[in-house]
Amino acid sequence: MASISAERLWKRFQLHKDRADSVGQLIWRMLPGRRSIAVEPFWALKDVSFEMSEGQSLGIVGHNGAGKSTTLKVLTRTMEPTHGSLKVHGRVSALIELGAGFHPDFTGRENIILNASILGIRRRDIQRRMADIIDFAGIDEFIDTPVKYYSSGMQARLGFSVAIHVEPEILIVDEVLAVGDEAFQQRCMDRIFALKRGGVGILLVSHDLSSVDRLMDTAVWLDHGTVRASGKPHEVVRAYRNSLHSEESPSSATATEAQECQPLVHLLAEVTQVIGADNGILTCGSPAEFKIGISNGTGTVFSGFLTVVLRRMDGLAISELSSLTDQVPLHVPPGTHQVTLSIGALPLAAGAYQTEVTLLDHHGLRLDSKDPMIAFSVWSTTKQMGLVSVPHTWKVG
């Protein structure tokens, strides 16, 4: 069973406050009776605990210096904790630093073999997957060139491709994906989704809070080496975002406190509804309106955006409708109001559906999210396969 259990992890480093400027000074200070270099302990992790069960995904967020990288190094056994207990079960594949484990004088192909061998993959299995690894990385013409001539982006592509093709039971990914272009980042996210659906445990450290929110099952917020919040991703992300926008943040937080801290502008689940339904059922191809309640307690007009994701009941996202993408800002006066999303002809095939609704501020940052928020059913007068009904005509000649 692939799982991670971290219990009360502490990690201490020694900071040299008065560092010698030369070898001569260092030797001079080591002589009997001479002043030694001052050393001060620094705790990068302080009583950090979390768990990731089999097939679960966990996101870690926090500012630079919060202890995220130290946590990953402890998880991958490249660094031992000073105190605490860590249990990791299952084959771990990690992508933490650019080119980590790559030998600069070896070619890309040779480094694939080297890295996969370290992860315990047999040589014949590596050769069987070689073409897929190279194809995903998209560096075919450079695969037999020494890695020292690769750009940081090429190294990231190759490293990620190796990590996901060794059939890991747990995949640990750091912010390293940020170096890739947009198309490659999307391919990486798509592959992570596919691995997650296949039961692979995912541990993601990222400053992309929306990815943590929509991809992870649970999340942990680290702040100066301590756990400030843990629990449902949208609650943890919201608490972290609130701290970034407030001048005075609380000294500690929990997932329960994060949930109780309702933002001044938030969604109202109790006033949402679908208009156009007959006995709660919509007809394929007919108009539909989604009424979404918003409470504005700021005392001024709120300008922001709404995103509605239509999902099948198993969680598959079918379509995303966003006023941010449409560049249609919503101006909501103080008080409680409804925003109407109108669909001229609902194309969904017969079945049961639900929506994820997200409220964004004028910068596109998430303020509130409800998943699921609206549940509805669709029926069709014709027998059809697939997810959507595509308007079409036939013509001969």
Q: What is the CATH number of the domain that holds 154?
A: 3.40.50.300
User: Of 259, 278, 309, which closes a domain?
Assistant: 259
One-letter amino acid for residue 375 of the chain: A
pLDDT at 256: 45
User: Do both 361 and 255 map to the same domain?
Assistant: no
Residue 291 lies in a domain: yes
Q: For residues 289 and 339, is the Cβ–Cβ distance under 8 A?
A: no
- Of 17 and 154, the one with more pLDDT: 154
Tens-place pLDDT, residues 38-79: 667 889 999 999 999 888 889 999 988 889 989 988 988 888
User: Of 259, 282, 310, which closes a domain?
Assistant: 259
Joined tokens for residue 157: 């592509």
The Cβ of residue 220 has, within 10 Å, a number of other Cβ atoms equal to: 28
For residue 85, pLDDT beyond 80:
yes
Joined tokens for residue 177: 């994906």
Q: For residues 339 and 333, is the Cβ–Cβ distance under 8 A?
A: no
User: Do both 118 and 132 map to the same domain?
Assistant: yes
Q: For residues 109 and 145, is the Cβ–Cβ distance under 8 A?
A: no
HEC assignment per residue over 168-179: CCEEEECHHHHH
User: Do both 226 and 332 map to the same domain?
Assistant: no
Residue 201 lies in a domain: yes
Give Cα 124 distance to the centre of its chain.
33
User: Do both 291 and 175 map to the same domain?
Assistant: no
Q: 294 pairs with which residues across the strands?
A: 267, 337
For residue 251, pLDDT beyond 50:
no
Q: Give percent of the chain with pLDDT exceeding 90.
A: 23
Residue 17 lies in a domain: no
User: Do both 162 and 75 map to the same domain?
Assistant: yes
Q: For residues 372 and 315, is the Cβ–Cβ distance under 8 A?
A: no
User: Do both 66 and 169 map to the same domain?
Assistant: yes
User: Do both 196 and 244 map to the same domain?
Assistant: yes
For the chain, what is the domain count?
A: 2
User: Do both 58 and 203 map to the same domain?
Assistant: yes
Joined tokens for residue 282: 């919509």
Domain carrying residue 147: 47-259
Residue 39 lies in a domain: no
User: Do both 245 and 355 map to the same domain?
Assistant: no
Q: For residues 376 and 113, what is the distance between their CA atoms, to the nearest angstrom?
A: 50
Q: What is the CATH number of the domain that holds 344?
A: 2.70.50.60
User: Do both 149 and 275 map to the same domain?
Assistant: no
Residue 297 lies in a domain: yes
pLDDT at 30: 63
pLDDT at 352: 84
Residue 233 lies in a domain: yes
User: Of 233, 259, 285, which closes a domain?
Assistant: 259
Task: For Cα atoms 342, 346, 349, give the angle at the middle one, nearest 5 degrees.
Answer: 155
Q: For residues 279 and 347, what is the distance between their CA atoms, to the nearest angstrom?
A: 19
For residue 143, pLDDT beyond 90:
yes
User: Do both 92 and 119 map to the same domain?
Assistant: yes
Rg (alpha carbons) of the chain, rounded to whole number:
26
pLDDT at 91: 78
Average pLDDT, the chain: 81
Residue 181 lies in a domain: yes
Residue 29 lies in a domain: no
- Of 196 and 25, the one with more pLDDT: 196
User: Do both 188 and 300 map to the same domain?
Assistant: no
- Of 393 and 320, the one with more pLDDT: 320
